[in-house]
Amino acid sequence: MPRTGGVFSLLSGSKGTPNTTIQSAPYNAQLDDFAADANAARPVTAGGTGATTASGARTNLGLAIGTDVQAQDALLQSIAGLTTVADRMIYTTGVDTAAVTTITSYGRSLIDDLDAAAARTTLGLVIGTNVQAQDAGLQSIAGLTTAANQLIYTTALDTYATSSLTAFARTILDDNDAATVRATLGLGSLSTQSTINNSDWSGTALAVANGGTGGTTQATARTGLGLGTLSTLNSVNNGNWSGAALAVANGGTGGTTAAAAKTNLGITDDIQAWVNFNGTGTVAIRASRNVSSITDNGVGDYTVNFASAMSDTNYAVFAWARYANSTSNTLLGPFAWTSDTKTTSAVRMRVQYSDPGSTGAQDSPEVNLMVVR
């Protein structure tokens, strides 16, 4: 090789010696070496590229595209054309077109953050420290339209509305305890009482118009309430009854006599009087109606006296008597003599037995009489 380390050197013995004949062999060898060097790639150290191809030449020259130098690019070309000064940043204004804009040191502190949390810190927006976390309730409040003297209250879960809050109401809300609230409301000691009794009462008699009686005694209270003497009675009886007959519509009979009462009540009771009495021993009435008494006139001889008189003497009398003994073949018959009394106020009857061969008056242990009209 004619070159060592890129430095071309003559072949040894190729130079001529003065006053000597040039030999062909060294001379030709030197020529061949020149020819070989001339046809070989000139090394970089000799001002060549050391390569026989462009790619090899770029590599040897340290200009390998994508390795040593940027490939030609329109955007880079645009950037290369920008005029920059301190605190500028490059941004695109179109395809492969760049421009510069100011970027402060604070701006650079924003874009050097690694994540959103760091960015929020840089921006002073730390949730829970600098700003409220998103909340449905706060969102509802944020949506309210407020005006003076209003309070915010909930209407449902995370739902708020406003209501009036007067200056007076605020004077209650700013009180520290119940006693202060009572003072604000102008309430006296009565307001803390569970009950009101006589010892608490210091006013005059509460008027009827206010739900009281208007009196300080039972009598004046009754007067205040318009109550009459009937109000002090435990019961109403004939002695204290002074009104008219209580009408049927009010639960009465509408009459002052039994007859009128029955008429008003629609009672058509044909039985005007009846009595059951014991005519033996100590004569006594067991039960009766509209009978004031019976008159024991003698053996088997009785007059029934009516409490209320019959309307006339055309009433019918029905009588029945129990025989005093159990003698067979004995008939016992209530009856009346022609001359016996039958008036609107009394009727006389007799009880007589009738055995074969004998007859006579007899007291009966059970005499029954009924008057029908």
Partner 1 sequence: MTETDLSKRIVFQNDDGGVSIIIPADCGLQIEEIAAKDVPTGKPYAILDASDIPADRSEREGWTVNEANLTDGVGE
Q: Which residues bind partner 1 (CB under 8 A)?
A: 238, 275, 277, 280-285, 288, 290-299, 303, 305, 307, 345-346, 363
Rank residues 303 and 330 by Cβ distance to partner 1 and give the closer one.
Answer: 303
CA distance 166 to 94: 61
CA distance 240 to 242: 6
CB of 305 to partner 1, least distance (A): 4
Rank residues 98 and 291 by Cβ distance to partner 1 and give the closer one.
Answer: 291
Q: Which residues pair with residue 164 across a beta bridge?
A: 150
Amino acid identity, position 229: T
Rank residues 33 and 301 by Cβ distance to partner 1 and give the closer one.
Answer: 301
CA distance 320 to 125: 120
Using alpha carbons, select from 319, 322, 283, 317 the residue that is nearest to residue 299: 283
Rank residues 28 and 297 by Cβ distance to partner 1 and give the closer one.
Answer: 297
Rank residues 98 and 346 by Cβ distance to partner 1 and give the closer one.
Answer: 346
CB of 205 to partner 1, least distance (A): 42
CB of 295 to partner 1, least distance (A): 5
Amino acid identity, position 231: S
Question: Which two structure tokens, joined as six digits, stand for 84?
Answer: 């920059």
User: Which strand (E) or helix (H) includes residue 245?
Assistant: none
Q: What are phi and psi of 98, to 5 degrees?
A: -115, 155
**DSSP E strands, the chain:** 3-4, 7-8, 88-94, 97-102, 150-156, 159-164, 271-278, 284-289, 291-298, 301-306, 316-322, 331-335, 346-355, 358-361, 366-372
CB of 333 to partner 1, least distance (A): 19
CB of 280 to partner 1, least distance (A): 7
Rank residues 98 and 304 by Cβ distance to partner 1 and give the closer one.
Answer: 304
List all residues 6 or more positions away from 264 whose beta carbon is below 8 Å from its beta carbon: 248, 253, 254, 255
CB of 279 to partner 1, least distance (A): 9
CA distances from 259 to 271, 285, 309 (A): 12, 24, 11
CB of 328 to partner 1, least distance (A): 23
Rank residues 28 and 292 by Cβ distance to partner 1 and give the closer one.
Answer: 292
List all residues 6 or more positions away from 307 whose beta carbon is below 8 Å from its beta carbon: 273, 290, 291, 292
CB of 193 to partner 1, least distance (A): 52
CA distances from 268 to 263, 329, 365 (A): 7, 41, 32
Rank residues 191 and 345 by Cβ distance to partner 1 and give the closer one.
Answer: 345
